[in-house]
Amino acid sequence: MSSQARLQRTRAEILDSAWTLISKRGTEVSIAEIAKASGISRQSVYDHFGSRGGLILALVRRADERLDIEAKLFSAFKTEDPEDRLKATVSVWIHFVQEIFPVATDLIRLRATDEDASLAWEDRMSELREWLLELTRTLEEDKALQPAWSSKEASEYLWASFSVQMWGLLTQDCGWQREAAQDVLTRTICQALLRPTTKPD
């Protein structure tokens, strides 16, 4: 095995160990614990990722790839009926948030004190905003948006509604069941953004 292949394998093993630990125990997992679970030194983790923020960014990007979020969102965007299109998008995103919640929460927490974490957050959120603008442009083209919304404003409202923080407030702080939270978010987003429809039952 080449040295580059070994590096890639070690990097993947670190990410897999970190994901497992953070998913089970939340944001308090230390770099030392991740290193121990990976069978390497703490310094080796820093050699691969630079900082905890760099590690978290790599974890989120790996989740994007593993869960195929971009392809799933753009598949939802192709749904013919505008209301069904928006609902499908909300469903895809919420299922993604449920998978990445522990890691994303750690990334958000680190933003104030870790420049790498802050850059990581901006990296992922800027891409999501671009994706959602693609969606709201299709809704605007179909004349499905409420007249008060531009496609850009609608995408920004949707992005805010999609926040990991909102999901955490509803399901963690308020204790809502996931299904209830998803139903309420779907209903309120559709009511806010879409013109009333007369779809048959």
- How do residues 59-115 score in pLDDT, each as one tens digit? 878 877 888 899 999 999 999 999 999 999 999 999 999 888 877 887 788 778 877
Burial 38-50 (b: 16+ CB within 10 A, else e): bebeeeebeebbe
Q: What pTM, to 2 d.p., does this model score?
A: 0.80
Q: Is residue 78 classed as helix, strand or coil in its secondary structure?
A: coil
* Beta-carbon count within 10 A of 109 CB: 13
Identify which has the larger pLDDT, 50 or 156: 156
Name the band, by pLDDT with cuts 50, 70 and 90, for residue 52. confident
- How do residues 182-197 score in pLDDT, each as one tens digit? 999 999 999 999 998 7
CA quadruple 106, 110, 111, 114: dihedral positive or negative? negative
Q: Are 135 and 77 in contact (CB under 8 A)?
A: yes
pLDDT of res. 198? 54
